Amino acid sequence: MEFDGQTALVTGGSRGIGRAVALAFAAAGADVAIAARGRDAAEAVARDVRAMGRKAVAVAGDVADPDHVQAFVDAALDLNGRLDCACNSAGIIGAMAPVGLQELDNLEAVMRTNVRGTFLCMRAEIAAMLEQGGGAIVNISSVTGLVGVPGVSPYVASKHAVGGLTKSAALEYARLGIRVNAVAPGCTQTELLDQFSGELGRQNGILDPVAVIAEDHPVGRIAQPSEIASAVLWLCSTGAAFTTGQIIAVDGGQTVG
């Protein structure tokens, strides 16, 4: 997969899957705009991209703020005057509790970042891509967007919503040259997993929750961020030119049975 001369925008690009996606785009020849809440963290990834011989810009902001989102897209456009690929990776998992004990504030916070944020990013990215005649967008969903998972109902609901946004946008822009897909990772070695597994262990008295989570995957392990990034890059590549509106599970077989 080659992205020479192309520009990619990655939200949530300072850590975890987003960071892996940004570095994978750079390794494949793209210039990259890295958007994150913290400027220093985003700039650290931008330095890594520049060390690979590609242009990079770091921009800080909140994906749920439309002005910040427009600044993300504008920063990407400033690199080369176009936006070829976008990966919307910013997300939070929120607090763990059964539905009957979930706080409304937690639901609203998760939906604000994961759903409103994805919607706003897609809206701004699509506007930029229409100006140039096309592009590719990949949203980061989750296996929890395909099945139910106890204890994190707001997160599950938000990722199901990301799938709906992905499918609707794909249908709306398929004949206008914009492909929209999603990747649904299984458990991946990120800070979000550390948060989830730590709380799982505390609530259930599990000494090694990551090992328990790994056993839930037929391949017997959790994913590395680079493995999720590979799927994102394929969906943005010319090899996926006939693929749109899909939610690709990269989950070690977790959702097969």
Other residues' Cβ atoms within 10 Å of the Cβ of residue 159: 28
Q: Which is the catalytic residue, given 155, 188, 236, 246?
A: 155
Tokens of 202: 């505390």
DSSP for 115-180 reads IIHHHHHHHHHHHHHHHHT-EEEEEE--GGGTS--TTBHHHHHHHHHHHHHHHHHHHHHGGGTEEE
Whole-angstrom distance, CA of residue 144 vs CA of residue 98: 15
208 by Cβ neighbours in 10 Å (0-12 / 13-18 / 19+) ranks as: exposed
Nearest to 247 by CA among 229, 230, 235: 235
Whole-angstrom distance, CA of residue 163 vs CA of residue 161: 5
Whole-angstrom distance, CA of residue 175 vs CA of residue 170: 9
Reply yes or no on whether 173 is catalytic. Answer: no
Whole-angstrom distance, CA of residue 200 vs CA of residue 46: 33
Q: Hey, which residues are catalytic here?
A: 155
